[in-house]
Structure 1
Amino acid sequence: MIPFRPTLAISLRPIVATIAALSTSGAWAQQTDVMPTITVQGESLHEGLGLARESTTASRLNITLLELPASVDLLGADTMQARGDLLVKDAITRTTGLTDTSSPGNGVAYSARGFSGNSAIALLENGVRPQVGSGTATYPADPWGYDYIEVLRGPGSIVYGSGTTGATINAVRKAPRRTASVEAMAGIGGGRTVRGGIGATGPLGEKAAFRIDAYADHSDGFIDRGQSRHGKIMTSFAYALTADLDLDLSLDHVEQKPQRYFGTPLLDGRISRELRDQNYDIGDADISFRDNKAIARLTWRAGPALTISNELAYMKAHRNWRNAESYSYNTQAKAVERNDYIAIRHEQEQAGNRLEARWNAGANRIVAGWEAATINFTHTNNAPYGGTSTVAAVGFNPGIFDSPDPLRPNFTTDTITNALYLEDAYSINEALLLLGGVRHDQYKVERTSLLGAAGFSSKLRANAVRLGLTWKVAPDTSLYGQVSSGSDPVTSLLSLNLANSRYKLTSSRQVETGIKQSLANGKAEWTAALYHISKDDIITRDPSNPALSIQGGSQSSRGAEASASVALAPAWRLEANAAYTDARFDQLIESGNLSRAGKRPADVPKISSNLWLNYRTERSRAALGVRYVGERYIDNGNTQTLPAYTTLDASLGWSVKRNILLQLNLRNLADKLYARTSYSDSQYLLGERRHAELTVQWHY
């Protein structure tokens, strides 16, 4: 493995130098209008809910959010910057009904509409989705270089396949443009945080354009031994091969060393302020993620109404963990007992191709496509993860990784996926839009044990449909309704074991209705939705033989969501959203023949909401935000809760010059002690303490 070192920032210098050279060279001297077709959304539309913008996530037909019969949130780069969202998960959890369930073990993960985890919430970049290995997703992690982020709530299987029942999150990167520009950012803050980013775009000759984005950060965190590092380089290139044929290329490299922190043990069943700064992981703990991705896309405008594209993608990921992950506080000894000395490595390689045709003529917009991918996944670990130790609650020697179990390759899987999809948007008249879609997915997983156990081969299939109707009762008001279906794997497809290989994919169904409205030329926008989702074939115990696990369980959720953005005065804007989720297991039997029917699934709050008050003029900006997350259960038996919490954030910005913005971001102003998620019933991952960060942003 290539280690992630503090010298990563130094390794970015050639890229920075290249950007600087391009910004002053003759490469930008020849500017012409002959270029590939690149859709550029106006920056002013990043304000508000963006109902006039086209969705690139909820449909493959680029339908505006106002016309779309589905619930979608859109966060523009300008909005994320104004709020001081320096992590993607900060931005995502400010959208309607999304809560953070991330941990060092799963990378980044969320809960939405009653469903949680990376087998139910899909994470994509530019519509390309890496398959999830052993429940872990690692990027996108920071918003630098992205134009906007879309969040589709509810099943998105007709667009992206299985694993999308709760929501689909798509980070859309900034595209190459022929208008030359450079942007840079530098910041310092609490926890000895240092961060910096630079990006540039412009023409190359008469028919091409480029974009380069580089970013790096380093933090000591707010706990002992809480160091983290992150860096990336994202490059894009667009070239007009002919008047009707475009080539788009991208090549990315991302390295992360997340904070090696698995939570704080509870003290007498409560969160202890005295232990807030303690880190009970070992001294030589390690977590590292490395991701590489290359994409090539050809787009042929075969005629006035027909466009054909082919996208080839290659991704490779390496992940490494070496930690003591479980802690409990011994009240009598006044010490912390540690176990689960876990070492794991993932090697994942994915190659895929998407062939797609679009037709846009008259009242019909149609897209049809074929997707195929092969994924190789190797899992190395030290199961059964032995090792124990006891340390003082404070002032202790963290020790080193000491497990009696050797680290050795465990298994490999080779997965082949195929999917066919068709989507049609038919304008019945000027007021009615009918959107329909169908998709068929096939998965073949072959597992080979590297420890001498028997291997197996498993084939899985899923069908998904969506039918929605949007009625524009006025040019700026629409009512909609939709029915849709989807599927999720019972566990990560790439890490199926023999016990899970006999299970089929779970099936989900959603009914949703809602309203969207834009008033006073976009000065006020609001949406509301009601939904019901049911999911069948989850794993449960056999009622006639509790020693056996079978598919036969079910869960459901129903809820209401609302979001609004209102310009109170020329310089003032109020933004708010709220979600009510009533989720439950309808049928589930767990170990001990215990029925969980009527219980709420873990990690699902009944209520979550966000409120932002924004002030903005040509020379200054300010924002004040409140985030509320209701109590959540940490287990399906609903025996233990994570307390509800409210956090208060703010940002202040000043335009020092026309192209220079100085911004102060303030987080957790009330210094709230809270748990953002749990790692076990004896340890919680705590939210960050009160801190500030100062950034300077430059645009040219």
Structure 2
Amino acid sequence: MPSGFVPSAYAQNGPPAPAESAGGAAPKLLDKVTVEGTPTASRDRPAPTASRLGLSARETPAALETVTQEQIQARGLRGSVEALNAAPGVLAGQLPSSPGTASMRGFSGGAIALLYDGVRQSAAPLVTRDFDSWSFERIEVLKGPASVLYGEGALAGAINLVPKRPDFDGRAFAGLIGVGSFGSQRYAVDFNEPIGERLALRAIVSHRRSDGYVDDTASAATSATVALRWRPSDAVEVDIALDHFEDDYDTAYWGTPLIPAALARDPSSLVRSSDGRVLDRSLRRRNYNVDNGLQDSRGDWLRTRVGWQIGDGLRFSNEFSYYDAKRRWWNSETYAFNARSGLLDRGTTRIEHDQRFWVERASLSADSDWGGHRNRAAVGVEISNGDFAVMRRFGTTAPVDPFAPQRGLAGFADTAANFPGAGNRVDFDSRTRVYSLFAEDAFNLSERWLLLAGLRYDRIELERRIEDRNTGAITRFERSYEPLSWRLGTVYDLAPTTQLYAQYSTAVAPVGSLPLLSLANSRFELTHGRSAEAGIKSSVWNGRVDLGASAYWIEQDDIVTRDPRNANLSVQGGTQSSRGIELTAAAALTRALRVEASLAALDARFDKLREAGGIDRAGNVPPNVPERLAQLRASYRFDALPLTVGAGARYVGPWYADNANRLRVAGRTVWDASVAYRLPFGEIALYGRNLGDALYADWTGGAADQFVLGAPRSVELTLRVNL
């Protein structure tokens, strides 16, 4: 199977289990670890996403899923969206407004924190994109509330994109070329260069493009990283990196709308609506965006990290990150069937973002002995400052025939004629400052029993200015919050490779996104969440099989609802909850055969929610939340031939597109397969995706009743070189 770099963070804590190289040549830096290695090894490595104490996954009282670069290469996962969908219990979608938006444990979007190299990205749904997976060493998904580690907005968990870093093991080069269906192309290089024993450099570049599987939806994305690692002494290590990402979607695909069943030429059962509308299979490739639409983004990160081993068991760490991004959406994004005209009425949108923020985090950790008991503790401070300027424009353009759209041009000039009416031509300026104190402690009551506690205090200060360019109205307001988040957990070793764990944690989340908070919502406090979780992690059969099981409950209070005594008044009194189980298994059944499987089953509900008109939504399922997710994948590596074959299936259960549950999206099973031929210098691989050509929806699009359809059957051929 394919291989990749040894993660440098892992290398600091001891080498991974031995494994064969992917090709026939002697192992190089880029191909020294394969997915045929002992599966249990990853659970014994530090899990920095879940704790700042250097705890391993076994010592963490939470479910932590990791998608490694080895798995990314073996499965041909091109972007972060595909990689996240490979993680157990996670659904990620290509929502055009924020590609990579995820759902897990009954919550989605702003309830899940996005981390880049362990640093929280402010307003995650705004930052997320479909980043190229070539850039990452691994992607870690921490399940359950994580506000004690990352502050507000981590109600259902956190996703950490961990970039590759320089390595001291030797010079190495990796390259990739790929071509496939829909005019797709992919190019990538990765070069590592140690300079003496104290300095190492790494440069990573990737580019991919596609004509798209929907009419006139070409896209391109480029990623680049330059990183330096310096060890001025045995006690000090310095990391500096600069990352760049940009994408361009031209006339982006914003989803396929529903039409009356009587008009459909090839009606499908994909969407069940309460008013008889259907999704017409014959519109699968239709694009209703205007011909002069555009959608692009550019983002740059500067990352620095300094680690100082002050003395025996005492370590200081300082991290600074600066982010600068610009994004544009000039599109027709919403399409609604008009029964009178028989056409699709279309809206127009011009939105532009100019976002900058920096994060400074310093921490001191100690590993000491307290009366014969090991104790690991960390305390620290985090300060962040974000500036966010937004242009938001909304208008309309000419309707189109759903079957033969003459898409035409839209007026995007910033005038009241193109975007008329109050609230349709507005500029926002937001500044968000956060001051945080955190502490964490892990105490061994015995060699087999660990107690873990964490506490975080945040001081959040928000300033907003809103100018309506059509009416001349200017609104300014300020708001502050002071949440306190905490968690208690315990891990007990039933055996050296079998752990029972449990934890109780709290979290906070804003009403909407803080940088986009409206004046009406500014009067509300943060919502509060709480969670209980228990589970088991076990490795059996001499470490050849990893098993995991967890059960959890999450509840979010104080969501906005209508006052039951006055349906015209919004108050904080709603409740949303989910409870479920997750099962995972990974087994190296033989030297050649490996199998992975997972199942997530949950019950997600609005416990208390009233909407406009006093309509009661209690008992309904939140949108974009499938209550069943399952995966099964197997791979076989031949001994007689330099060949590896793999196949897998992913099941996503039915989900709803709106709070009213009037739009139900059918579940689907998508099959993939691969065959890879090992070469002395790398590998050539063929990937087949959605082999059954299933018609399925990834997510809701520009409106609740239009759906982003997944790609049809496709193939890709890649050549990867390791030197």
Give me the TM-score of the superposition, normalised by structure 1.
Answer: 0.91
Provide the C-alpha distance between the structure 1 equivalents of 2:453 and 2:118, rounded to a whole number of angstroms: 19
- CA spacing shift, 1:546–1:41, aligned 2, 3 Å: farther
Aligned with residue 718 of structure 2, among 669, 692, 695: 695
Q: Does 1:288 align with 2:262?
A: no
| Cα distance, 1:204–1:366 mapped onto 2, change above 3 Å | same
Match in the other structure for 1:254: 245
1:348 has 2:369 as partner: no
- The CA deviation string for residues 244-289 of structure 1, in whole angstroms up to 9 with x for no partner, is 2222101111111147010012232222221111111111111111
Tell me the equivalent position of 1:389. 398
In the alignment, which of 522, 545, 562 is matched to residue 541 of structure 1?
A: 562
Q: Distance in 2 between matches of 1:168 and 1:104?
A: 21
1:233 is matched with 224
Counterpart of 1:284, as a letter, is N
1:40–1:128 distance in 2 versus 1, CA, 3 Å: farther
Q: Indicate the residue corresponding to 1:663 in structure 2.
A: 685
Tell me if the contact between 2:229 and 2:239 (Cα under 8 Å) persists in the aligned partners. yes
Q: Between Structure 1 and Structure 2, how many residues are aligned?
A: 660
Deviation at 1:569, TM superposition (A): 2.1
| Residues 439-495 of structure 1, C-alpha deviations (whole Å, 9 max, x = no match) | 111210001234442200000121111111111010111111111111111111111
- For residue 175 of structure 1, report the CA deviation from its aligned partner: 1.6
Q: For residues 129-150 of structure 1, what are the alpha-carbon distances to aligned partners after superposition, in whole Å with 9 as ceiling and x for unaligned?
A: 22117x4233462211211111
Displacement, 1:39?
5.3
Whether the aligned pair in 2 keeps the contact of 1:324 and 1:338 (CA below 8 Å) is no
C-alpha distance in structure 2 between counterparts of 1:113 and 1:609, whole Å = 13
Q: What is the CA–CA distance in structure 2 between the aligned matches of 1:256 and 1:617, rounded to whole Å?
A: 39
Where do 1:210-609 residues align within 5 Å? 210-258=201-249, 260-267=252-259, 268=261, 269-330=277-338, 334-335=342-343, 337-362=344-369, 363-382=374-393, 385-402=394-411, 404-406=417-419, 410-451=427-468, 452-609=473-630
Paired with 1:245 and 1:273, the residues of 2 have a C-alpha distance of 60
SS at match of 1:91: helix
For residues 226 and 38 of structure 2, the distance between their equivalents in structure 1, rounded to whole angstroms, comes to 27
Taking the aligned partners of 1:584 and 1:265, their CA distance within structure 2 comes to 26
1:200-258 residue CA offsets vs partner (Å, 9 max, x unmatched): 11212341111111010110011111101000111110112233222210111111114
1:90 aligns with 2:82: yes
Structure 2 counterpart of 1:212, one-letter code: A
The CA deviation at 1:108 is 1.9
Structure 2 CA distance for partners of 1:322 and 1:522, relative to 1, 3 Å? same
User: Which of 63, 86, 91 matches 1:71?
Assistant: 63
Contact 2:583/2:599 (<8 A) preserved? yes
SS at match of 1:637: coil
Counterpart residue identity of residue 84, structure 2:
I
Q: Is the 8 A contact 1:146 1:172 kept in 2?
A: yes
Query: Contact 2:184 / 2:208 at 8 angstroms: preserved in 1?
Result: yes
When residues 432 and 110 of structure 1 are mapped into structure 2, their CA distance, relative to the original with a 3 A threshold, is same
1:162 partner amino acid: E
Task: Please give the alpha-carbon distance, in whole angstroms, between the structure 2 residues aligned to 1:227 and 1:554.
Answer: 42
Distance change in 2, residues 1:354/1:245 (3 Å): same
Tell me which residue corresponds to 2:156. 166
| Larger mean Cα displacement after TM superposition, 160-169 or 616-625 | 616-625
List gaps (5 residues or longer) in structure 2: 1-8, 17-32, 262-276
Tell me the distance in 2 between the aligned counterparts of 1:48 and 1:98: 21
Q: Is the 8 A contact 1:585 1:597 kept in 2?
A: yes
SS at match of 2:333: strand
Using the alignment, how far apart are the partners of 2:105 and 2:461 within structure 1?
29
How far off is 1:546 after superposition?
A: 1.2
1:632 matched residue in structure 2: 655
Residues 189 and 206, structure 2, Cα contact 8 Å, conserved in 1: yes
Find the counterpart in structure 2 of residue 24 from structure 1: none
TM-aligned CA distance change 1:361 to 1:140, over 3 Å: farther
Aligned partners of 1:325 and 1:342 also within 8 Å: yes
1:102–1:39 distance in 2 versus 1, CA, 3 Å: farther
Instruction: State the AA in 2 paired with 1:157.
Output: S
Task: Work out whether residues 325 and 338 of structure 1, in 8 Å CA contact, stay in contact via their aligned partners in 2.
Answer: no
The CA deviation at 1:332 is 6.8
The 8 Å contact of residues 510 and 532 in structure 1, kept in 2 or not, is answered as: yes
d(CA) in 1 for partners of 2:234, 2:645: 46
Once residues 187 and 553 of structure 1 are traced to their aligned partners in structure 2, the CA distance between those partners, rounded to angstroms, is 49
SS at match of 1:107: coil
* Matching of residues 94-173 of structure 1 within 5 Å: 94-117=86-109, 119-132=110-123, 135-139=125-129, 141-173=131-163
8 A Cα contact 2:165 2:202, kept in partner: yes
Cα distance between partner residues in 1 of 2:602 and 2:15? 33
Q: CA 1:454–1:393 in structure 2 vs 1: closer, same or farther (change >3 Å)? A: closer
> 1:21 — aligned with what?
none
SS of 2:233's partner is coil
Distance 1:47 1:677 in 2: 36
The answer to whether the Cα contact below 8 Å between 1:476 and 1:517 also exists between their aligned partners in 2 is yes
Q: What secondary structure is seen at the aligned counterpart in 2 of 1:671?
A: coil
* CA distance, structure 2, for counterparts of residue 354 and residue 367 of structure 1: 12
Which residue identity is paired with 1:257? D
- Counterpart AA for 2:331: N
Separation (CA, whole Å) in 1 of partners of 2:673 and 2:178: 16
Contact 1:47–1:79 (8 Å) recurs in 2: no
- Cα distance change on mapping 1:323 and 1:98 into 2, 3 Å: same
- Structure 1's 308 and 617: CA in aligned 2 closer, same or farther, altered over 3 A? farther
Provide the TM-score with structure 2 as the length reference. 0.88
Code of the aligned partner of 2:98: N
Give the Cα–Cα distance (whole angstroms) in 2 for the partners of residues 499 and 409 of structure 1: 16
Cα distance, 1:73 vs structure 2: 0.7
Question: Cα–Cα, structure 1 residues 431 and 536, in superposed 2: closer, same or farther, change >3 Å?
Answer: same
Q: Is the 8 A contact 2:288 2:405 kept in 1?
A: no
Return the offset for 1:295: 1.5
Q: Which amino acid aligns with 1:542?
A: D
Please give the secondary structure, in 1, of the residue aligned with 2:120: coil
Q: Where does residue 672 of structure 1 map in the other structure?
A: 694
CA distance in structure 2 between the partners assigned to 1:438 and 1:649 by the alignment: 43
Report the AA paired with residue 324 of structure 2: K
Q: Given residue 251 of structure 1, which amino acid in structure 2 is its aligned partner?
A: L
CA contact (8 A) 1:318 1:345 kept: yes
Relative distance call for 1:44 and 1:222 in structure 2 (3 A) is closer
Contact 1:114-1:583 within 8 A present in 2 as well: yes
Change in 2 beyond 3 A, CA 1:36/1:469: closer
Using the aligned pairs only, state the percent identity. Answer: 34
- Range with greater deviation from structure 2 (264-273 or 157-166): 264-273
Partner secondary structure for residue 395 of structure 2: coil
The RMSD of aligned alpha carbons is 1.9
